[in-house]
Amino acid sequence: MTKTSKRTHKTATAPKARVSKNTTYDAKAESIIDYAKTFDGVKYKYGGTTKKGMDCSGLIVTSFQKEAIQLPRSTSQLAVVGDWVDVKEVQKGDLLFFATSKNSRNVNHVGIVTEARTGFVEFIHASTSRGVMTSELSERYWYFAFVQARRIL
């Protein structure tokens, strides 16, 4: 496992508001997010990439394919793709990585940022217990499980 897939120290500082000047980036991010949202409510299925069942990395790979962006299939492989981004600088379309296994610091979960403004980050992901859903990074569980953010677009 690489250093980038391990937990890192984070501060409690709220994210800054993003003012984008790149309309191509915005359009791609919105397209990816909109497509990911079509899977909202789909049950979790390990290895799944369809409306019959979806896992977290499957949601990422399937959503980015909508914009002809090919990504590796596993969360650990995704965790080293693109550029590291400070959590205070995340934008729509960025990926958030988490370590949710007890007593492990390895990345095993990923979601796509759907909304980012000062003090608020929302992301869509496939939860093992609740399927595809949106959550807020400020929720205690996700806040403490957060490892890193990466920008693909």
Alpha helices in 19-117 (DSSP H): 23-37, 56-65, 75-78
- 101 DSSP assignment: S
Cβ-based burial of 96 (10 A; exposed 0-12, middle 13-18, buried ≥19): buried
Residue bearing tokens 């937990």: 7
Look up 9 and say whether it is catalytic.
no
Q: Angle of helix 23-37 relative to helix 56-65, nearest 10 degrees? A: 130
Name the catalytic one among 48, 109, 149, 152.
Answer: 109
Name the catalytic one among 32, 42, 54, 56.
Answer: 56
* Cβ neighbours, 10 Å, residue 25: 15
Name the catalytic one among 55, 98, 111, 125.
Answer: 125
Which residues, listed in sequence order, are joined to residue 135 by a DSSP beta bridge? 123
- Catalytic positions are 56, 109, 125
